[in-house]
A and B are shown apart, each in its own frame.
Chain A
Amino acid sequence: MLEILGDRFTYAVILVLMMVGLYAVIATGNLVKRMVGLSIFQTSVFLLYIATAKITGGAPAIFAYSDLAAGTIPDDAVYANPLPHVLILTAIVVGVATLAMGLALVVRIREVYGTIEDDELSEIDHDDELKKGV
């Protein structure tokens, strides 16, 4: 058990983060905290991708200038996979945009409703509907 954990420590951390984030989204009624949970959840996925890019003993995928000039890139050179990093850069941008959009909505909800607690919001929504007879 411990060996497996030691072997796959990164994945264990990612899994814990993922569950913490998802739990926070579901369990909290505060909209800002919900956004925080969502961000943690997304970040854990970023880590999942980045963790797969790492290859033991691998260097960044940049050729040494001397090798490039001489045209002798060693056959046994081990490089980390750069693609996941690029993907995650894009995903981070998407995550930031989602967070910004979510927080902007929370600000507007606070202005219009005067609260950002989910249970109070649904109560107000319910009263609204009753008033309109919907």
Chain B
Amino acid sequence: MEPQFLPAAIAAHAPALLVMIPLILSAPAAMITSGRAAWLLAAIGVGSALVLAVEIFLATRAEGAVLSYAMGGWEPPLGIEFRIDALNAALLLLLGSTGFLAIVFAGPSVADEISRQKRSLFYSAFLICFAGLSGVASTGDAFNLFVFLEISSIATYAIIAMGWSRDRQALTASFNYLVMGTIGATFFVIGVGFIYMSTGTLNMADMGRAIADLGANRAVEVGFAFILVGIGLKAALFPLHQWLPNAYAYAPNFVTTFLATTATKIAFYVIIRFSYDVFSINSGLVTNAMLWVITPLAIAGMLVASTQALFQNNVRRLFAYSSVAQVGYMLLGLGMATSLGLSAGMLHLINHAMMKGALFMALGAFALSYGIRRIADFKGLGQVMPLTSAAFTIGALSLVGVPFTVGFISKFYLIQAALDAGWWWAVAAILVSSVIAVFYVYRILVAIWVSPPDEVRKASAKRVPLAIAIPLAILAGANLVFGVWAEPIVAMARAAADAAILAGVAS
């Protein structure tokens, strides 16, 4: 690849290094006992991944640019290939930047929530999770994708369970996630197995060509169904989202912040990759799956999960349900099977990471200062923690889709895409779901700004550490800045969607 700003020797191996640096750093992080040193290693790992992601993103800017990296010098399709176009480059950039903001936030938050002896192991597991997610986003080999998926998932189960010292429900939540996640991953392997049996290749681009040549084949179609269900489980596609609310509600705050902004997004990317590039979006199979499976489930998720969110008293679980609903928006964009729809879905994916990042980080700040998470406990927070509350409010308004926030931009493009496809009922569903969102956000905002604070709380007001305030301010600011100046994010989402469609045409 053409070096952009890094030295050529590093730039040439950027895709491999992006995954390898966090993965290798996880070993020393597990061996040292100091939590601070482990945090530094995690920050170095994620920071270098961010730099490499920027390099890769710049290298794949040109239209139709594909970065192919032959792992170990073994040429694809026999060797394992890391294949990055504008679609994964956008994902890697998102993963790197939200991961980096989250790791800065992790310093004080983890010190508060995880016991001293466990911190270095915790950061080690986080690095493995991060490496696994970036591996999923960069690999071009279907089986390799499964392995990376499981690397990240197993580490995720561990870091979610670390919330047990605060709340023992983290253990059962993590166990349920483990059972569901493993079934999902195994379904994915079954699907890949069926495709491998029929095509004899594991390279995803090569698979795409072979499937196109094969024509209608029952085994391949069954394989697609297995993959869709398996990855749908990881992406929290309604009704396969049962693991998500408790996992998000009881995990340590940092873990929730990181997972809500990345994990389901990566799974969503895998769905795009398989339905657009490995399978052709124009084949009857995928078109029908989009129209009759993905779209109804997306709309059901938007409406049902939003309604479920209304009845939650635990704020983190409320936003977890709202995440399921937001995954519905992204899938609706995907389900339209048009260029406009896909880019609206990608746009919402990026924007949703900003909103949920700001929201969960603000919740982390509240939890750090007061150890609270029920809506009833949020009374009067606006008076004692005005800036954090303001950042939270920006995230919440963005979630609803108020103008001048990113949430408005993505809903605007989503509605535009739906109208373009003639799907007026989808527009109705988006609006209804947004109205429900107004109600659940309203409950929290009223508690924060209108209700008077408890007497005790006024006295014990604590300053939010800078390590939380800065990433929170960046995310909240991004919600506003990109809500007005939407051009760069929209262009990025459009380039990603075009890359997905182009790769599908090429194969």
Contact of A134 among B150, B157, B168, B314 (CB under 8 A): B314
Chain A residue total in the interface (Cβ 8 A)? 35
Is there contact, CB below 8 Å, between A38 and B182?
yes
Query: In this assembly, does B358 line the interface, its C-beta being within 8 Å of a C-beta of chain A?
Result: no
Is there contact, CB below 8 Å, between A25 and B175?
no
Nearest B residue to A100 via CB reads B154
Q: Which of B2-10, B183-191, B268-276, B488-496 contacts A (4 or more CB under 8 A)?
A: B183-191
How many whole Å from A116's CB to the nearest CB in chain B? 10
Query: In this assembly, does A90 line the interface, its C-beta being within 8 Å of a C-beta of chain B?
Result: yes
Is there contact, CB below 8 Å, between A105 and B143?
no
Is there contact, CB below 8 Å, between B197 and A52?
yes
A131 to B186, CA, bound (A): 38
A49 to B142, CA, bound (A): 14
Is there contact, CB below 8 Å, between A97 and B186?
no
For residue B168, which residues in chain A have a CB less than 8 angstroms away from its CB? 112-113, 128
Query: In this assembly, does B169 line the interface, its C-beta being within 8 Å of a C-beta of chain A?
Result: yes
Nearest A residue to B143 via CB reads A87
Is there contact, CB below 8 Å, between B182 and A98?
yes
Query: In this assembly, does B171 line the interface, its C-beta being within 8 Å of a C-beta of chain A?
Result: yes
Contact of A133 among B143, B164, B193, B376 (CB under 8 A): B376
A134 to B178, CA, bound (A): 24
Query: In this assembly, does A45 line the interface, its C-beta being within 8 Å of a C-beta of chain B?
Result: yes
Is there contact, CB below 8 Å, between B193 and A48?
yes
For residue B174, which residues in chain A have a CB less than 8 angstroms away from its CB? 105
A84 to B195, CA, bound (A): 13
Is there contact, CB below 8 Å, between A109 and B186?
no
A-facing residues in B140-178 (Cβ within 8 Å): 143, 146-147, 150, 154, 157-158, 161, 164, 168-169, 171-172, 174-175, 178
Contact of A105 among B157, B193, B313 (CB under 8 A): B157
Contact of B147 among A34, A45, A83, A94 (CB under 8 A): A94
Query: In this assembly, does B456 line the interface, its C-beta being within 8 Å of a C-beta of chain A?
Result: no
Is there contact, CB below 8 Å, between A102 and B150?
no
Contact of A48 among B157, B178, B190, B376 (CB under 8 A): B190
Q: Which 6 A-B pairs have the closest CB atoms?
A: A94-B150, A134-B314, A105-B175, A112-B168, A109-B171, A52-B197
Q: A41-B186, A49-B196, A105-B157 are in contact. List 11 more A-B contacts (CB 8 A).
A: A38-B179, A48-B190, A49-B193, A90-B147, A94-B146, A97-B154, A98-B182, A101-B158, A108-B171, A121-B172, A134-B313
Chosen A-B contacts, 29 in total, with CB atoms closer than 8 Å, are A22-B183, A25-B183, A31-B175, A34-B179, A38-B179, A42-B182, A42-B186, A45-B186, A45-B190, A49-B193, A52-B197, A84-B196, A91-B146, A91-B147, A94-B185, A97-B154, A101-B158, A102-B175, A102-B178, A105-B175, A108-B171, A109-B171, A109-B172, A109-B175, A112-B164, A112-B171, A113-B168, A122-B172, A128-B169
